[in-house]
Amino acid sequence: MNVLVINCGSSSLKYQLINSDSEEVLAKGLCERIGIDGRLVYQKTGLDKEITEAPMPTHKQAIQMVLDALVNPKTGAVASLDEIDAVGHRVVHGGEKFASSTVLTDDVLQTIEACNDLAPLHNPANLIGINACKELMPNTPMVGVFDTAFHQTMPKKAYLYGLPYEYYEKYGVRRYGFHGTSHSFVSKKAAEFLGMDLNNSKIIVAHLGNGASISAVLNGKCVDTSMGLTPLEGLVMGTRSGDVDPSILEFIAEKENLTLPEVMDVLNKKSGVQGMSGVSSDFRDLEDAYNAGNERAIDACEVFAYRVAKYIGSYVAAMNGVDAIAFTAGIGENTSFIREKIIAYLGYLGITLDKEANKVRGEERIISTPDSKTIAVVIPTNEELAICRETVALVS
């Protein structure tokens, strides 16, 4: 079966066409600057990237261009749209309504819309993408795969905030967690790779990308995660602050004469390692600056690694132990010196870093020494493949 995986943002759209039998990517790419001007990047596996600048006033035109590229007689990946058997859509927020992926019926779309105020930047864009696809491929089954679903198994003690209970009841203010597709994929893959029984395992997944989150996965189920009502809570990220004293918001608003939305913009877009270092949100730049002795870059890297280590410690407490710690996403898969810094805090878990193995980039590999009591492992994430698998499970 061929599955088109769509990850639709407000002005961009990433796509992959995957053959679910071989799990091969047939073609992939993205549309950028939708509603501004428009740029399609398309690559059939084995061929060079093609870039087309063309107007894309709406997501419908963008998806139409993707479909045209996929069936192009010269460079297309399929002969006709009939060869696309299903579409899997990433949906950011499913609130408490969706604990698993689901076929996108009209009722389901209404329920997703009801979650819009929990993710005002993401869900409306996801819905626009879904509706555009439905119009262009009315007979193709569509599935929604939610970033929040995997975390719905968290117990109440992990998801309730110390706030008036009525905010939870009236507005759904609670911890939801994000990157669920990745945490689910990586925890399963880690157990498989390490030959562990997932149903009898304690795994901590550190998804360290531009957005970063960490989760405690007990017997295959999420019991806690660092992101909260929104993806701002938890770890220090590329440009997001992660945990801060909430009083800082009022303090900064007064000192800098900013409105609340302006302060939120600072916390989301001008903070994290970017705001701390003044260098970059990208760890490749930060590593160069770190090696050049840039003090603010050094501080940013130290704070980043220390925060991850503290969360790992709290999840060891939450699960009363840990068998394996899995590093994933851009930084988790590639940035050896940050993994080294994090693991340096974990001696109490009996982990010793295998420095040679830790040079690994982007492949499954154990990076702790064979005599370590807890295993540290790198597991590349693949959210598109996870969405493809979920889609196939629901439509076949």
Catalytic residues: 147
Minimal distance in Å, beta carbon 231 to ligand ADP? 10
Q: Which tokens go with 329? A: 């996403």
Contact region for ligand ADP (CB under 6 A) — 133-141, 217-225, 324-332, 365-373? 324-332
Minimal distance in Å, beta carbon 280 to ligand ADP? 8
**Among 19, 52, 111, 210, interactor with ligand ADP by CB under 6 A:** 210
Minimal distance in Å, beta carbon 179 to ligand ADP? 9
Q: Which tokens go with 160? A: 């309730």
Residue 178 interacting with ligand ADP (CB under 6 A): no
Contact region for ligand ADP (CB under 6 A) — 161-169, 207-215, 318-326, 348-356? 207-215
Contact region for ligand ADP (CB under 6 A) — 87-95, 226-234, 315-323, 325-333? 325-333
The alpha helices in the chain, defined as continuous H runs, are 59-70, 106-114, 123-136, 156-159, 165-171, 180-194, 247-256, 260-269, 272-277, 283-291, 295-319, 329-334, 336-343, 383-395
How far is it, in rounded angstroms, from Cα 220 to Cα 197? 9
Residue 282 interacting with ligand ADP (CB under 6 A): yes
Cβ proximity to ligand ADP: between 7 and 368 the closer is 7
Cβ proximity to ligand ADP: between 241 and 335 the closer is 335
DSSP 368: B
Minimal distance in Å, beta carbon 112 to ligand ADP? 22
Residue listed under structure tokens 């009591």 = 373
Angle between the 123-136 and 59-70 helix axes, to the nearest 10 degrees?
50
Cβ proximity to ligand ADP: between 76 and 234 the closer is 234
Residue 209 interacting with ligand ADP (CB under 6 A): yes
Contact region for ligand ADP (CB under 6 A) — 12-20, 22-30, 120-128, 205-213? 205-213
Minimal distance in Å, beta carbon 347 to ligand ADP? 25
Residue 234 interacting with ligand ADP (CB under 6 A): no
Residue 331 interacting with ligand ADP (CB under 6 A): yes
Minimal distance in Å, beta carbon 150 to ligand ADP? 17
Question: Parallel, antiparallel, or unpaired: how do β-strands 2-8 and 102-103 relate?
Answer: unpaired
- Give backbone dihedrals phi and psi of 182, rounded to 5 degrees, phi first: -70, -45
Cα distances (Å, whole numbers) of residue 320 to 18, 203, 218: 39, 11, 10
Question: What sign does the dihedral 248-249-250-256 (CA atoms) show?
Answer: positive
Nearest residue to ligand ADP, by Cβ distance, number only:
330
Residue 211 interacting with ligand ADP (CB under 6 A): yes
253: Cα within 13 Å, side-chain hemisphere: 12
- 238 in helix, strand or coil? coil
Cβ proximity to ligand ADP: between 146 and 327 the closer is 327
How far is it, in rounded angstroms, from Cα 169 to Cα 176? 14
**Among 2, 7, 226, 335, interactor with ligand ADP by CB under 6 A:** 335
Residue 283 interacting with ligand ADP (CB under 6 A): yes
Q: Which residues neighbour 174 within 8 Å (Cβ) at sequence distance 6 or greater?
A: 96, 159, 160, 161, 168, 229
CB atoms within 10 A of CB 59: 26
**Among 334, 372, 382, 391, interactor with ligand ADP by CB under 6 A:** 334
Residues forming contacts to ligand ADP in the complex (CB under 6 A) are 209-211, 238, 282-284, 329-331, 334-335
